[in-house]
Amino acid sequence: MISNTAIRAIEAYGGEDLWKNSNYIEAEVSVTGLLFTLKRRPFFDHAHIRLDIGKPLSRLTPIGKNKNIMGVLEGFDVRLEKENGEVVSTRTNAWQYFPYGRRLLYWDDLDMSYFANYAFWNYFTMPRLLMNPNIEWSEKTPGCLQAVFPDSLPTHCPVQEYFFEIDTGRLMQHNYTASVVSGLATAAHVVTEHDKHDGLIFPSRRIITPRTKRGAAMKKPVLVDIRVHSFKLS
């Protein structure tokens, strides 16, 4: 049975009918942070995302320095495509190559295609994830949900925590370990701002930092700083 906290969260972000009857999310994002610098990656500057709400299928343009190359995630596989749909390169089961070897020092476009697309798919489809019967949800304390993800979904780690405002149902913090970075990369993903577009509320600013042993977000360093300029369901 879905918890009261999950019900409030779904309603806060548009309601069950909207998320069950929508197929895609389109968003424009800018992303900076220390993680990009450490992995020798360019920041995202008003990049465009189109993702499938019902399954891990996501397209992010541009994925790197070439403005005409798109990074595509389909399940655990990734590929690079040109604007005309021509496939430039592919990598099957991209997750298996993290986090060791040269990935400790830098990520290529296919690495970033995997990480960024699965991360955004998890972040942006959260209301639909709350209704996913394959994810085991439990309410640890009022406003705090624990999720146990199946092996069939690309995500940061198997067990994650979500903290919601009791009154509004809005997401405040999301705790996980970014295992593609390191098994020690315990992160606190804090939502600092919300916005509204065509009546739809969405998190518009997200700051990701390391977290303390008690689960609190540290102020520094800022690993990832996400600004969502636009967000719509279709």
Q: What's the per-residue H, E or C state across 73-104?
A: EECCEEEEEECCCCEEEEECCHHHHCCCHHHH
For the residues 220-225, what does the mean pLDDT come to?
A: 98
Q: How many residues does the chain have?
A: 234
pLDDT of 1 above 80: no
Bridge-based pairing of strands 136-141 and 186-197 is unpaired
> Could you tell me how far CA 43 lies from the centroid of its own chain?
16
Tens of pLDDT, residue by residue over 118-151, are 999 999 999 999 999 999 999 999 999 999 999 9
Reported pTM: 0.97
For the residues 220-228, what does the mean pLDDT come to?
A: 98
pLDDT of 45 above 90: yes
Sequence-distant (6+) residues with CB within 8 A of 86 are none
